[in-house]
Structure 1
């Protein structure tokens, strides 16, 4: 019996938009593309048109599409053991746990498996509070940690606003983000002495009951904000001094994306808790991970671990995690991301020099942002989040739409683009994607304020190393 669908493309789109919610958007006007196939760094729509997937969908398909080893691992696990409740040991669980000990920062050796990054963060918050006996989590503005109750409460960007005051009830307070291009506390690096970390220390001293500080090592969707090299070591020292746990949300920055297995390795800092998802299976199946230090693991030998869910350590999610790690090693993808970084930076710096609408470019490995401004002197963006939630058309969406029409999919968010192709990307594909962005930035250039000088703005955080 044939299993091929009889639905037309129009029926697929109509059913989807009338019965499903489109995320983070007004539902009116949603017209989703019907995708029917994908391979390596491309996806194909129902009309047969092929697109370069220049942001790995949602910065998650690090291996690209249709990796045969990962697909085979899913099929085999389904045949061997489709499900076992979390209280059992399984081969899939042991094999992935063994590999994690090899690739995670040393000292993180106790694992709780989830089905998403937001679930991993929920687990981290509960573990931190159980371990410390304290309540408050310090997160940062310009952050995103997930959409469930606790993780959206810890999200610094305005997506949190729709569920306030629930966030305040969750015991989360916010510190300034690390953003040397638009410093929220009006300092200039390096003369500032890493004032944003000092501000966070001030908060800890003047708040009671702080259990943990939560950071994205490199902020993801909200701008690929790379901290100065001194920031993470200083933050680690502050947390240690005050007995506060450090949680690193590596949902987006993990799994080779920045040229290291995990971004915290760039600064030689090991967090007390690391959360991750996305690239752990290259998004082939939903899997998240909350990894803790040995001292936290030891604590629960004699203290009740009050957390769990039906799909924790689901065998169907774990087997492709093992396959993904093995494929990343076989293909040397971590090293590949690091090797491509200088070339991508060179290309983006040239684009910035050419286009007055580009205020900053920044990133590590194969994880970069192109930040648009209407005026390089004031660094004022063309749009803000208020424009997005009001339904005002965004300039970045217009540019991304032009790229899409010519076969390149690039993620745009409010006032910047996120460039994060699969780690298997070729130089030719990189050039194609960057050429397309270069071409359509002329739309933004035409809207730049007349007095904005066409000069390269020197921003210390823009030029990064992979050390």
Structure 2
């Protein structure tokens, strides 16, 4: 696809239409000015004014194969011509093949998929499954987390979006490992891992093990900081679940399908969860789709017992056909391997160079094409560049500078996240980092430390 000529008049029409009729999420409606997007291809998208952006956000971290991959577009078109929709009670080839592709990339004891329309309803149904399976009600999750904006999912969430939405019951939060801002006064990853697991066990004990149905955690925490668990942490979670009869729900909505250089991020460990929730990268967001991969043990609970849940569009043919094509092109074009290699060999060293040059960067962390920069005003005190739950003039200036220079970032509070597509090229990464270098130089005056 070639970027078409600029058409500001059309852009204004799109913007005016949006402002007149569209109600946007997570926004005070009068205070936003959404960018009218005209199109995209690969790692880029563009607006109607002729501005082109290198997409280091993968939109909301879901275009894992980039924009407009021709093989996936073709698969959607072919499915639309064949059969556009079907009720969930019927069998459908696209749905069956998508479930097969997904389970083949999970553990040997994960052979069933319950399809949803996105990640949040995937979390809802995972919680429903474990509560019915265990006959327990409590769900434990990180304070630093995001699990979606539906009833149980938003109450499981730790970040401030939970605060005005706490209507579900039985949710308890705990601190996960985060060495840079340790809640446990740890000096190294080994201490952080050990103390975080001891803390989790104490929470289980004080909440009553026989009341806890599940531990729900993002395998790599996404929006809340790209927090990669230290070596041994997920193994420790698995051991605590087994000790107390608790089920482990792995939220892979953002971290799954190549984002960390593995099909699922938990696969950086040696253990398997009981349920795996996915969405986003399963079909690069081309058609809304999510779901839960279910262990054989939990699936067997419902062999002769009705599962009391369902969605009209569960496993929609267009969405699942897109998933089949996405997984196939990721495998054929070795995108997961590319994400792993480019993360280790290109992004990581470039981030280290950037941090050495700009003192406002306090820490860099991540895997694959999933990274975060923890931004500070003082490296000694680690004072954040923006407060928890809000932005700041410095962060606003940084994001504006990136966009002006042609880079679209993902930012949250005092962090900038680096999340390009899994098939991003080295040249595109280097282009993006040249822009980041200029953008960080423009906010150097906000650093107040030595």
**Which TM class, normalised by the smaller chain length?**
over 0.9
- Show the counterpart of 2:181: 182
Query: Could you tell which deviates more after superposition, 5-14 or 292-301?
Result: 5-14
Map of 2:443 onto structure 1:
444
CA distance in 1, matches of 2:287, 2:58: 15
Separation of aligned partners in 1, 2:8 and 2:369: 40
**1:101 CA drift (Å):** 2.6
* Pair 1:98-2:97 in alignment: no
> Structure 1 stretch 18-27 or stretch 176-185: which is displaced more?
18-27
More helix by share: 2
Candidates 349, 355, 358, aligned match of 2:358: 355
The match for 2:228 is 226
**Hey, what does 1:426 align to over in structure 2?**
425
The yes-or-no answer on 1:196 pairing with 2:196 is yes
Q: Is the 8 A contact 2:8 2:49 kept in 1?
A: no
3-state SS of paired residue (1:47): coil
Q: Is the 8 A contact 1:105 1:270 kept in 2?
A: yes
Distance 1:372 1:292 in 2: 38
How many Å apart are 1:326 and its aligned residue?
A: 0.4
The separation in 2 between residues aligned to 1:394 and 1:114, in whole angstroms, is 39
Give, in whole Å, the separation in 1 of the partners of 2:35 and 2:241: 46
Deviations 1:83-102 (A, max 9, x none): 11111001111211221232
**Secondary structure at the residue paired with 1:139?**
strand
Which stretches in structure 2 are left out of the alignment for 5+ residues? 1-6
Once the 2 structures are TM-superposed, how far is the Cα of residue 7 of structure 1 from its aligned partner?
Answer: 7.7
SS of 1:385 mapped into structure 2: coil
CA contact (8 A) 1:411 1:417 kept: yes
Q: What stretches of structure 1 move > 6 A for 4+ residues in a row?
A: none
Counterpart residue number, 1:162: 164
Structure 1 gap ranges (5+):
453-467
- The secondary structure found in structure 1 opposite 2:133 is helix
Would you say the 8 A contact 2:44–2:67 is kept in 1?
A: yes
Distance 1:110 1:397 in 2: 44
2:8·2:48 contact (CA, 8 Å) conserved in 1? no
- Calculate the aligned-residue CA RMSD, in Å: 1.6
Secondary structure of the residue aligned to 2:313 is coil
List aligned pairs for 1:60-139, cutoff 5 A: 60-139=62-141
- Alpha-carbon offset, residue 447 of structure 1: 1.5
Q: How much does 1:308 deviate? A: 0.5
Q: CA, structure 1 residues 378+441, in 2 after alignment: closer, same or farther (shift >3 Å)?
A: same
TM value normalised by structure 2: 0.95
* Deviation of the 1:68 alpha carbon: 1.0
C-alpha distance after superposition, 1:150-174 (max 9, x if no partner): 110100011101123x2xx421000
Cα shift at 1:48:
2.1
Confirm or deny: 8 A CA contact 1:394 1:414 kept in the other structure: no
Contact 1:137 1:212 in 2 (8 A): yes
CA distance 1:224–1:6, shift in 2 (3 Å): closer
Q: 1:316 aligns with which of 318, 329, 345?
A: 318
Spell out, residue by residue over 1:9-59, the C-alpha distance to the aligned partner (whole angstroms, 9 max, x if none). 212112212322232232223111111111111101112221111121111
In the alignment, the residues of structure 1 paired with residue 434 and residue 223 of structure 2 have an alpha-carbon distance, to the nearest angstrom, of 22
Aligned to 1:409: 408
Q: Aligned residues, how many?
A: 440
Summarize deviations over 1:95-132 as a string: whole Å, max 9, x none: 11221232123321111001110010011010010111
Say if 1:176 and 1:185, in contact at 8 Å, map to a contact too: no
Question: What whole-Å deviation, never above 9, does each CA across 1:301-346 have from its counterpart, x for those lacking one?
Answer: 1222111011112111111100000000111011111111222111
CA separation of 1:91 and 1:191: change in aligned 2, threshold 3 A: closer
Measure, in 1, the Cα distance between the counterparts of 2:73 and 2:342.
Answer: 27
Q: Which residue of 2 aligns with 1:286?
A: 288
CA contact (8 A) 2:103 2:293 kept: no
Pairing 1:346–2:349 present? yes
Deviations 1:217-246 (A, max 9, x none): 111011101111110101110111100000
Residue aligning to 1:464: none
How far apart in 2 are the matches of 1:271 and 1:79?
A: 38
2 CA distance for matches of 1:47 and 1:7? 9
- 3-state SS, counterpart of residue 258 of structure 1: coil
Contact map agreement 1:35 1:46 (CA 8 A) in 2: yes
SS of alignment partner, residue 16 of structure 1? helix
Does the CA-based 8 Å contact 2:97-2:324 persist in structure 1? yes
Shift of 1:6: 12
Classify the secondary structure of the residue corresponding to 1:37: strand
Residues 100 and 386 of structure 1: CA distance in aligned 2, closer, same or farther (over 3 Å)? closer
**Aligned with 1:417: secondary structure?**
strand
TM-score (norm 1): 0.91
- Secondary structure of the corresponding residue to residue 374 of structure 1: strand
Displacement, 1:424?
Answer: 1.5
Partner SS for 2:219: coil
Q: Could you say which residue in structure 1 is the equivalent of 2:205?
A: 205
